[in-house]
Amino acid sequence: MANQLLMPKATAVWLVDNTAMSFEQIAFFCHLHPLEVRAIADGEAAQGIKGQDPVMTGQLSREEIAKAEADPNYRPRLSEPKVRIPEQKRKGPRYTPLSKRQDRPNAILWLVRNHPELKDAQISRLVGTTKSTIEQIRERKHWNSANLAPMDPVTLGLCSQIDLDLEVQRASRGIAPQAPSGDTLLPASMTETLEVRTNEPEEEKELDASAVFAKLTSLKRTRTDEDDED
């Protein structure tokens, strides 16, 4: 299982109250937005959440906190877990809480429009729905199609950005890159040929000028010789 921070908001509350780390450092460590950390410090967010000491849980060392307090540009790192639990593969569609199930059609519509390369099985894994529902939304046969609005499933909390990126990468593996459209630059071989061709008339002009000059010189000499004979 990937090493992830437990209870990020509770950890942020504890770091705000017990350390001199900056909002950016706490936001980086807790995977939050700096403005959200500032709101926690101002008491506008995370009200009623008890702080969680990351040192006690073994997720952050005292040394990392000291480094972050001494250097505002330093980004504290999560400690490696002492015990690793093997990751369990999820079987079947993702479970979606009841409070978020009403947002699934909007998320499906967003995925269908923004990532048409995704297969129905992939969308089902991401938002925890059925293939029949996906098909109805694709064909605009869903009972609530008129009121649906595309919404990012990551923003809705139906899936993580990592899961979405992974499914998109899997779906894009067998797709050939699109050919460039519009005006493009000519290859170097063609431009060099064009330059040679454009220079040819100038060379011919130079040759013609020298020939005319030589002919005039010869005529002048001929006239001079005739005058001497006279």
Give me the tens of pLDDT residue by residue for the chain, a chain 230 residues long.
446 787 889 999 999 999 999 999 999 999 899 999 999 999 888 777 888 899 988 889 999 999 999 999 999 998 887 655 555 555 555 555 555 667 889 999 999 999 989 999 999 888 888 889 999 999 988 888 889 899 998 888 888 888 888 888 888 876 655 555 555 555 555 555 555 454 545 444 444 566 666 766 776 666 655 555 55
pLDDT at 96: 53
Same domain membership, residue 166 and residue 102: yes
Same domain membership, residue 165 and residue 102: yes
C-alpha to C-alpha distance for 15 and 19, rounded to whole angstroms = 5
The total domain count for the chain is 2
Angle at the Cα of 26 from the Cα atoms of 25 and 27, rounded to 5 degrees: 90
pTM of the model: 0.39
pLDDT at 43: 86
- 11 contacts: CB under 8 Å, gap ≥ 6: 5, 29, 30, 51, 52, 54, 59, 60
Q: Is residue 32 part of a domain?
A: yes
Q: Is residue 102 part of a domain?
A: yes
Using CB atoms within 10 Å of the CB of residue 133, give its burial: 0 to 12 exposed, 13 to 18 middle, 19+ buried.
Answer: middle
Query: What is the extent of the structural domain holding 133?
Result: 98-172
pLDDT at 2: 47
Same domain membership, residue 52 and residue 108: no
> Torsion angle of alpha carbons 133, 139, 142, 144, nearest 10°?
130
Angle at the Cα of 51 from the Cα atoms of 27 and 98, rounded to 5 degrees: 80
Q: Is residue 41 part of a domain?
A: yes
C-alpha to C-alpha distance for 160 and 156, rounded to whole angstroms = 10
Q: Is residue 50 part of a domain?
A: yes
Same domain membership, residue 102 and residue 66: no
Asked which of 70, 85, 117 is the last residue of a domain, the reply is: 70
Residue that the structure tokens 């109250």 belong to: 17
Q: Is residue 186 part of a domain?
A: no
Same domain membership, residue 54 and residue 114: no
pLDDT at 25: 94
Same domain membership, residue 152 and residue 114: yes
> Torsion angle of alpha carbons 6, 8, 9, 11, nearest 10°?
80
CB 92 within 8 A of CB 130: no
Q: Which two tokens mark 4?
A: 């992830």
CB 15 within 8 A of CB 29: yes
Neighbours of 27 (CB within 10 A): 21
Q: Which two tokens mark 98?
A: 């009841």
Asked which of 120, 151, 172 is the last residue of a domain, the reply is: 172
C-alpha to C-alpha distance for 153 and 104, rounded to whole angstroms = 8
Q: Is residue 90 part of a domain?
A: no
